[in-house]
Amino acid sequence: MELNSKKLERTSRFIYYTISFILCIFLILLSNRIISDLDSAIVSPQVEDYENKVKINQLQAKYDALGLEIEALNNKNSTIQKTMDTARENYNNEKQSFDNWLETRKTLGSPDKDAEVIQRAKKLDEYFNIEKAWRNQYNEVQEQVDAKQKIQQDYYNNLDKERTVAYDKYSKEYARFELKVFLIRLLFVGPILALGIFFFVRYRRHKFWPLFFGFSLFSVYAFFFGLVPYLPSYGGYVRYAVGIILSAGLGYYAIKKIRSFIEQKQAELKTSTQERAKNVQTEVAEKALENHYCPSCGKDFIIKKWEFPLKGNDQDAYKLVTNFCRHCGLELFSNCNNCGNKNFAHLPYCALCGEKSTYIKNKQQTG
């Protein structure tokens, strides 16, 4: 039964990549669990572990006690303020009454009222002295509040110093903790990354390549998500240096592979067309015929309309193909030895009679 090679190829590719991604996902889940257990083996330091708790508690207690005293004094001043406002209001009312009465007396001109003037002036002075006494008491309490707030600020500054010293110690210890976590993760991720690179370079064309490719994907995830975020920073120098090394390494590998491929193709084109024909694989030949390019040099073998002179109204020249590649000389189309039908030379069988092609017979004989 004849199989649809295009559909089979697409289906196979989908299945292969599905296997790779499923394997990668389960490896990621397993590695996350393992790394989580490894991280829990080291206890993360806390700021409280480096504080002088006795001294801080003493300073905090004095700070809180002063806060309560200041609050009590502020409440007292609040009461004094209300009493002082009442005294000021009484004085203002009495002064207004005295001024009105004095104006009336001047109008009537009653000299026998001098004693009453003196008496009311004394009463007005009493209201003023009461308001003044409360104001003085308010100022005294406010001075006490200011003095206690100054002492409280000193306690706060001392507390801040103690906590700063503790935080500095914590920061140094936390940097060491991060380094330990990174080294543990490196011991776990490093071999995985090396193995993933090895599988990709060595086994990417293996018949079980989906399994190796899935592990390679997992190694990339483990590196970028399990190790890179935990790289010690030191101002960013380490991370930038790692980025430069990776970029240079991958760039060198890519350039080397591309140049090697170009040199290999150039060397192949220098060999005879018979030797090159023997090295053409059936899958490459199928794709070459489908996309109308030479399986050896990769250039288009269809002659375009502007490359071939037309004769009269011959429109078939727009899709003319040559039996040999115009660029490297490889034979592209040949006649079947059995029926004489023209076929793509590198496919295994004749499209008309099913006879094996000449190149396939030669490969089998030389193989």
Average pLDDT of 1-18? 72
Q: Are residues 240 and 277 in the same domain?
A: no
Q: Are residues 132 and 278 in the same domain?
A: no
Structure confidence at residue 21 (pLDDT): 93
Q: Are residues 91 and 224 in the same domain?
A: yes
Q: Are residues 156 and 251 in the same domain?
A: no
Rounded to whole angstroms, how far apart are CA atoms 112 and 298? 134
Look up residue 312 and give its two tokens: 């009269």
Structure confidence at residue 175 (pLDDT): 85
Structure confidence at residue 2 (pLDDT): 43
Q: By percentage, how much of the chain surpasses pLDDT 70? A: 81
**More confident of the two residues 354 and 23:** 23
Find the radius of gyration of the CA atoms of the chain.
Answer: 49
Rounded to whole angstroms, how far apart are CA atoms 72 and 59? 20
Q: What's the mean pLDDT when you consider all of the chain?
A: 80
pLDDT above 50 (res 95): yes
Q: Where are the beta strands (DSSP E) in 166-317?
A: 302-303
Q: Are residues 51 and 169 in the same domain?
A: yes
Q: How many residues does the chain have?
A: 367
Residue 95 burial (CB count, 10 A): 13
Q: Which residues have C-beta within 8 Å of that of residue 20, sequence separation ≥ 6?
A: 210, 211, 213, 214, 217
Which stretch of DSSP H or E encloses residue 94? helix 53-108
Structure confidence at residue 27 (pLDDT): 92
Average pLDDT of 206-217? 90
- Residues 353, 338 contacting (CB under 8 angstroms): yes
Structure confidence at residue 317 (pLDDT): 45
pLDDT above 70 (res 314): no
Least confident stretch, 140-149, 182-191, 244-253, 279-288: 279-288
Closest CA to 298 of 270, 330, 323: 330
Q: By percentage, how much of the chain surpasses pLDDT 90? A: 10
Number of domains in the chain: 3
Structure confidence at residue 215 (pLDDT): 92
Rounded to whole angstroms, how far apart are CA atoms 46 and 36? 19
**More confident of the two residues 28 and 43:** 28
Look up residue 334 and give its two tokens: 């040949």
- Which residues sit opposite 356 in a β-bridge? 349
Q: Are residues 35 and 88 in the same domain?
A: yes
Q: Are residues 3 and 81 in the same domain?
A: yes
Rounded to whole angstroms, how far apart are CA atoms 80 and 143? 14
Q: Are residues 58 and 77 in the same domain?
A: yes
Structure confidence at residue 272 (pLDDT): 66
User: What's the pTM?
Assistant: 0.54
- The band of 90, judged by pLDDT with boundaries at 50, 70 and 90, is confident
Identify which of 112-116, 228-232, 254-258, 316-320 has the greatest average pLDDT: 254-258
Structure confidence at residue 107 (pLDDT): 58
- Which residues sit opposite 320 in a β-bridge? 303
Rounded to whole angstroms, how far apart are CA atoms 226 and 311? 68
Closest CA to 102 of 126, 118, 89, 90: 118
- Residues 302, 320 contacting (CB under 8 angstroms): yes
Q: Are residues 239 and 225 in the same domain?
A: no
Rounded to whole angstroms, how far apart are CA atoms 294 and 290? 11
Q: Which domain holds residue 350?
A: 273-366
Average pLDDT of 237-244? 74
Identify which of 42-46, 217-221, 232-236, 238-242 has the greatest average pLDDT: 217-221
pLDDT above 50 (res 269): yes
Q: Are residues 147 and 264 in the same domain?
A: no
Q: Are residues 263 and 321 in the same domain?
A: no
Rounded to whole angstroms, how far apart are CA atoms 276 and 19? 35
Looking at this protein, which amino acid is placed at residue 73? Answer: L
Average pLDDT of 116-143? 81
Q: Are residues 143 and 184 in the same domain?
A: yes
Structure confidence at residue 105 (pLDDT): 64
Rounded to whole angstroms, how far apart are CA atoms 253 and 308? 43
CA dihedral 79, 85, 90, 96 (to 10 degrees): 180
Cα–chain center distance at 170: 26
Structure confidence at residue 250 (pLDDT): 81
Least confident stretch, 4-8, 63-67, 223-227, 237-241: 4-8
Closest CA to 359 of 274, 272, 286, 265: 274
Q: Quick: pLDDT tens for 282-312.
A: 777 778 878 788 887 878 877 766 555 555 5
